[in-house]
Structure 1
Amino acid sequence: MSERTGWDRRLRVRADGRRLVGHARAVLLRRCADRVGLTGVLADVLPMGAGHGWRDRGVVVVQLAVAIVLGATNLTEAAQLGLHQSGLSGPAASDSTVRRALLGLDDTALTLIAKARRTVRRHVWSQLHLRPGGFPRLSVAGRCLRDWVVIDMAATIITAASKKERAAATFKGTFGFHPLATWCANTAERLAMELRPGNAGANTVADHLRVLTCALAQIPYSSAAKLLIRVDGAGATHGLLEHLVALNTKRRTVRFSVGWKITDEDEKAIAKLPEHAWETSLKQDGSPQAGYFVAELTGVNTREGWPEGTRLIVRRVRLSGRQLKKLTDFEQKTGWCYSITATNIGRMWGVAGSHQVQFLDALHRDHAEVEDRVRTNKALGLHHLPSKSFAVNQGWMGPPRTSPQTWTPGSASWACTTSTTWPTPNRTPCACASTTCRPASRNTPAIGGSASRPPGPGRPRSPPAGTGSPTFRPLPDNRLPPRRRPERSRPHHPPGDVEPRRSRSVTRRPTPNTPGHYGRTTAPINDRPR
């Protein structure tokens, strides 16, 4: 039970089937936030007031997060969905209250919220380690990355239909924002995100370092011994790679895998590779991938100035129609399309064959799953920034979206990972994205009834309507109970009697002398010529 809110007091599961309510799975999200302590720590760090009608800011933020999962795209819809859940989780906050709460999130408040999230995440991850399957682990090319925490970094474009504060033209020819974020691939959580203007650079070193620092601060110390950072081609900068190499200590090992922009020197080095140097690529299950080849380019390429120990892995595939417009002269001549990955992985402790080029190529290609995280975040509110104010949009994107990370890739992040029925210890169910999590939370019905007093002397009584906490029972197969057609009541006639025949009434059309006539003359029915 939540001692601060008390909304789940005497909440039980019953099968009386008295009332039917929607959004039954919202109870899981709200209880998860309360049970892990997130609601309490947010209320402690956010501003507090003592006036009449003051709403607890921690509860307001969590209720907003639940409303976003249920489908809210603006503050008004969030308030309406909160009213729908008011019979269960208590009075809902109005849209003006939510706006004031988001406007109050300055830099100091965001820093305190980040510390609160780190405290809660340390508690949740400690519970994950105690599960029968242990902490979620990645499986790449048929090999399990034991005790490795993988962080994916990517940027995306958010279009704005109206003029918003700090919105600008993007490099794709659109208008909006260019946020940069990091996700934990093990648990599918979003660790940090920064809302940047649309004209922000894709490979700006300062932005990458700032977001990466916030993400590393969210990882508990007990899980930060072995880290793998994966970035696309925007991460191939001197400043970022040198910073990642400098993070290595005696107690922490940091490895990176980033994309690489091919230059003329790289193409000359690829042309020097003999045919027997190319090896067949591997799929994510470890089976060979026919028609795709990889090779080591480290000893052939002589580019200097990069961190010591950096390896270059080149991959080639046959040309496709969507690549014809971006081919270089060298690729058109050879008939192959090339891509290069830069990494400092010599060997990964506990992973057999981690030094092989096939494994390193599959490891970086697994970074493509970050696009699922981006799509899920956009479907769960990131694509609909609700206000013209940058502070409100940053608050909408920040604490509500990261309140427990159950809101991002569905309740699979914290709500399902803390359960003992995890599907597999090697892979997080990342597919629980916008196409599965959000409709299920929004449309799953349940039977609700008022919670009665515990068994004891006296007759059990139910609270008045609207004051009791409904209890829920999921329906089988997520379907509604069949509706019964109301039977028509027909007049009863004694046996032998004949039901009187109904007389058909004739309605006369309006005549010129009657009101409502519009100039059309109609004779009575009995006077019409036959």
Structure 2
Amino acid sequence: MNKPTPFYPAPHVDAHGHGIASQAGGMLLTQTAIASGLMAGLSEAMVPWRKPLSRHDPGKVLVDLALSLAMGGDCISDVNRLRSQPAIYGPVASNPTISRLIATLSGPDLDKALAAINAARAKAREHVWTLAGEHSPAHGRTPEDPLVVDLDASIVISHSEKEEAMPTWKKTFGHHPLAGMLDHGAEGTGEGLSMQLRAGNAGSNTAADHIAVTQAALEQLPAAYRSGRQTMVRTDSAGGTHKFLDWLTDPERDLSYSVGFTITEAIAEVLPLIPEEGWTQAYNNDGYERDGAWLADITGMLDLSTWPKGLRVVVRKEKPHVGAQLRITDIDGMRYTAFATNQTRGQHAALELRHRLRARCEDRIRNAKDTGLENLPLQAFTGNTLWCHLVLMALDLLAWMQMLGLTGTQARVWEPKKLRAQLFEVAGKISTHARKRTLHFAAAPHTDLLLMALNRLSVLSPP
């Protein structure tokens, strides 16, 4: 009698494996933390919070938390995935030790602790960009091709009572953080610069919040990019307020901007007056003309005397897609939107395309939710504020690892979920011979890519 072939192999199992690391590919992140100087910088920054005779460095505890988030964790106890592999991640603090540190940092000295953390991140970022050279997001930036900082808010749903968790405008319950993200462009991903955790009922177009998040984001950039037209702030219509644009264009900053602009009654009145020859074809994301979409500069048709000098308003009309709801201000069966910018050069289509590419910020926020932001695990608002900064640190490590180790490969644009599945979760076996410890990676589809990235990171010098 023939035995049927099983659908899946069923080998005998035991628990006698030694030196096996199930997530050995996470070495990419540990080496990034070392090469960037983030590990050493946080260790130094956290000295005021290190207790005498303590076994664990508070800086390493924070980096361990960020590593666990980058590898798919979403709560403090998920750091256990590192603790179980000391040969890869070193000694990892216990959950109670981590909880006590978070309680200490999120106490009365929260602002001081966040300032120290953010200063270490900014210093590491500048060093990473220097190491990246021509692959740095700041390389070759000009007022015509600026470094872009995106601002956007998102709802984080809470399934339990937490401080400042409130009903949101989407009829859900939770928080409404506002984030500042750096765009690497089509050939890369992006970096998390700043985030302000807000109550669930926080407004979308609150100028004070936009200013605070932008200021924190600019402080994360090298000094040469904290002011001047070579840096652009890009937002949706929530940023199209007088106060925010006045702040951006203050002579002390003089930043470029591209913001959504609400179709007001004054704009609606001039839409029928735009001559046919005033419309030009819009572009697709690939830079080619887009059928069914047109642009017109209506700056000269509006009274903009109360707005910052140099503001231009460009309106877009397009054939509505299936299921789109037209507004009362839309005419001729077309859907109208507008944006404002102080860019003085470039075709309308190119400027409008750059503005629409702010949709990449939504990808960055989606990735942040996949890297710990989806679940704010603490009850205290101050603790969850600190957690948001750990999420930013995890996003930094992912982006820097890709910039330094994976440039020129398809993995440069992989999102966190794919990085985990293809690289971080590659297993390995540690062996020791002649006093030399070696990690043997499993033969996986992208093991060669993993080894190449590790070799690139190993030759980089920390600051």
> What is the TM-score of this pair, normalised by structure 2?
0.84
CA separation of 1:429 and 1:88: change in aligned 2, threshold 3 A:
closer
Separation in 2, partners of 1:18, 1:169: 51
Tell me, yes or no, if the aligned pair for 1:272 and 1:300 is still in contact at 8 Å. Answer: no
CA separation of 1:91 and 1:397: change in aligned 2, threshold 3 A:
same
Match 1:127 to one of 127, 131, 154:
131
1:359 is matched with which residue?
350
Tell me, yes or no, if the aligned pair for 1:156 and 1:179 is still in contact at 8 Å. Answer: yes
1:40 is matched with which residue?
40
Tell me, yes or no, if the aligned pair for 1:137 and 1:144 is still in contact at 8 Å. Answer: no
Q: Does residue 1:230 correspond to 2:229, yes or no?
A: no
Flag the structure with larger Rg: 1
2:334 is matched with which residue?
336
Match 1:171 to one of 165, 169, 172:
169
Tell me, yes or no, if the aligned pair for 1:151 and 1:228 is still in contact at 8 Å. Answer: yes
2:452 is matched with which residue?
none
For these two proteins, the number of residue pairs brought into alignment is 419
Tell me, yes or no, if the aligned pair for 1:280 and 1:288 is still in contact at 8 Å. Answer: yes
SS in 1 for 2:282: strand
Separation in 1, partners of 2:205, 2:157: 20
Separation in 2, partners of 1:138, 1:189: 15
1:11 is matched with which residue?
none
Q: Deviations over 1:42-62 (max 9, x none)?
A: 1222211223x5311111111
2:402 is matched with which residue?
416
Q: Deviations over 1:80-138 (max 9, x none)?
A: 21222223322221111111222222111111111121221121111122xxx442379
Deviation at 1:377, TM superposition (A): 0.2
Aligned alpha-carbon RMSD (Å): 2.6
Match 1:402 to one of 380, 392, 404:
392
2:454 is matched with which residue?
none
CA separation of 1:107 and 1:289: change in aligned 2, threshold 3 A:
same
Q: Does residue 1:26 correspond to 2:8, yes or no?
A: no
Match 1:475 to one of 421, 426, 443:
443
Residues 290-305 of structure 1: pairs in structure 2 closer than 5 A: 290-305=291-306
1:284 is matched with which residue?
285
Separation in 1, partners of 2:145, 2:298: 29
Q: Does residue 1:76 correspond to 2:77, yes or no?
A: yes
Q: Deviations over 1:292-344 (max 9, x none)?
A: 111111111235411111111111111234322xx23342x510000000111
Separation in 1, partners of 2:50, 2:55: 8
CA separation of 1:119 and 1:195: change in aligned 2, threshold 3 A:
same
Deviation at 1:248, TM superposition (A): 5.5
Deviation at 1:150, TM superposition (A): 0.9
Q: Does residue 1:205 correspond to 2:207, yes or no?
A: yes
Tell me, yes or no, if the aligned pair for 1:22 and 1:442 is still in contact at 8 Å. Answer: no
CA separation of 1:138 and 1:34: change in aligned 2, threshold 3 A:
closer
Q: Which amino acid aligns with 1:234?
A: A
Residues 53-452 of structure 1: pairs in structure 2 closer than 5 A: 53-78=54-79, 80-105=80-105, 106-129=110-133, 133-136=134-137, 148-186=146-184, 188-224=190-226, 225=228, 226-247=230-251, 254-324=255-325, 327-331=326-330, 333-347=331-345, 354=346, 356-398=347-389, 400-403=390-393, 405-407=395-397, 411=398, 413-419=399-405, 422-423=407-408, 431-450=413-432, 452=434
CA separation of 1:429 and 1:203: change in aligned 2, threshold 3 A:
farther
Higher helix proportion = 2
Sequence identity percentage: 31
Stretches of 4+ moved more than 3 A in 1?
17-20, 136-139, 143-147, 222-225, 404-407, 428-431
Separation in 2, partners of 1:335, 1:259: 21
Deviation at 1:383, TM superposition (A): 0.4
CA separation of 1:60 and 1:302: change in aligned 2, threshold 3 A:
same
Deviation at 1:144, TM superposition (A): 9.8
Q: Which amino acid aligns with 2:73?
A: A
Deviation at 1:392, TM superposition (A): 2.3
Deviation at 1:406, TM superposition (A): 4.0
Unaligned residue ranges in structure 2 (runs of 5+): 1-16, 448-463
CA separation of 1:69 and 1:329: change in aligned 2, threshold 3 A:
closer
Separation in 1, partners of 2:209, 2:59: 29
Q: Which amino acid aligns with 2:91?
A: P
Deviation at 1:393, TM superposition (A): 1.6
2:12 is matched with which residue?
none
Deviation at 1:18, TM superposition (A): 8.3
Tell me, yes or no, if the aligned pair for 1:137 and 1:147 is still in contact at 8 Å. Answer: no
Q: Which amino acid aligns with 2:443?
A: L
Separation in 1, partners of 2:152, 2:319: 27
Deviation at 1:382, TM superposition (A): 0.3
Tell me, yes or no, if the aligned pair for 1:260 and 1:340 is still in contact at 8 Å. Answer: yes
Q: Which amino acid aligns with 2:392?
A: T
2:5 is matched with which residue?
none
CA separation of 1:256 and 1:147: change in aligned 2, threshold 3 A:
closer
Q: Which amino acid aligns with 1:416?
A: Q
Tell me, yes or no, if the aligned pair for 1:24 and 1:472 is still in contact at 8 Å. Answer: no
Deviation at 1:207, TM superposition (A): 0.9
> What is the TM-score of this pair, normalised by structure 1?
0.74
Deviation at 1:19, TM superposition (A): 5.2
Q: Deviations over 1:165-213 (max 9, x none)?
A: 1111111111100101111113611111111111111111111111111
Tell me, yes or no, if the aligned pair for 1:137 and 1:146 is still in contact at 8 Å. Answer: no
Tell me, yes or no, if the aligned pair for 1:99 and 1:392 is still in contact at 8 Å. Answer: no
SS in 1 for 2:56: coil
Separation in 2, partners of 1:55, 1:221: 33
Q: Deviations over 1:457-484 (max 9, x none)?
A: xxxxxxxxxxxx66243524159xxxxx
Unaligned residue ranges in structure 1 (runs of 5+): 1-16, 348-353, 455-468, 480-530
Separation in 2, partners of 1:404, 1:159: 21
